[in-house]
Amino acid sequence: MVLALGLLGLAVGSVPLLRLRSYQMGRVRCQTNMRRLSMALLLYAQDHDSRFPPPDYRTASAGGTASSPSRTRVIGDDDPPDGGGTASSMSGGHRTWVDLLRMYIDRQRILECPWNRVGEGKHKEKGFTFRCSYALNARFYDHFFPGPFPIENVELPEGTALLVEAGRRRTRSPFDQWEGWPPRHETPWITHTYWDTGADPLAYPSPHNRRMNIIALDGHARTITVAHYGPANHDAEYGRLGGGVFNWNGGFPNGDTSGAPRE
């Protein structure tokens, strides 16, 4: 009897440790996914004059004009030639930045974080399906000027966010954990580009024990505590995302590091 109770206590005590190990393995796998995805982006840029793909666009065969000219590009069927059907729905002729990476991605499963799964998430305004847990920094396209931003012009790549965790929007808090399918605390709507955690906290969750995985432009991965899940005392354009990584250029608009960075 004593032995049985001892074994039961040992089993119960091991549950938190097993769960912690599961979280750690999920976080590491998520970081690996993001590293591979960032490598695909850099390979794409190498083949496209140091430019990243547009966040999303409609093919010309879909008809009509783009629903959001500042974020959606209309491209003919033969431009660019790399489009495919990996992560977003082709219905309506809509494609995303992940579709343009098809020839650089070896495995579809790298697109989803095991603790932040997406499934059949859709873009609320544009209606396309996006099966990826990660968002591309929107500042690389149609922000500082029309079209793509040359990545060699970023003075502080180690301090510039490239990819952040996104996926399905949360309903209550960015710290809500993924708890299986169907999702309990998530909406059907996805986010495929990154703007700012302070401006839109529910779009960019921290699924790894209240922390988030990110990739900087220089390719290094970090698990961070998000610095700003609210707009107070925060610069949404350049400010700190977490750790030493900022929304853009280390928090320095002109690359001048003599002063303090924008938070």
The pTM for the full model equals: 0.82
Per-residue pLDDT tens, the chain, 263 aa: give them.
666 555 555 555 544 544 545 567 888 999 999 999 999 999 999 999 999 999 998 876 544 444 333 344 433 333 343 444 456 544 457 899 999 999 999 777 899 999 898 888 899 888 889 999 999 999 999 999 999 999 999 999 999 999 999 999 999 999 887 666 556 678 889 999 999 999 999 999 999 999 999 999 999 999 999 999 999 999 999 999 999 999 999 999 988 888 999 99
What are the residue boundaries of the structural domains of the chain, listed by start?
17-251
Cα–Cα distance between 238 and 137 in angstroms, integer? Answer: 12
First to last CA, the chain: 60
| Three-state secondary structure call for residue 151 | helix
> What's the rounded Cα separation, in Å, for the pair 222 and 165?
11
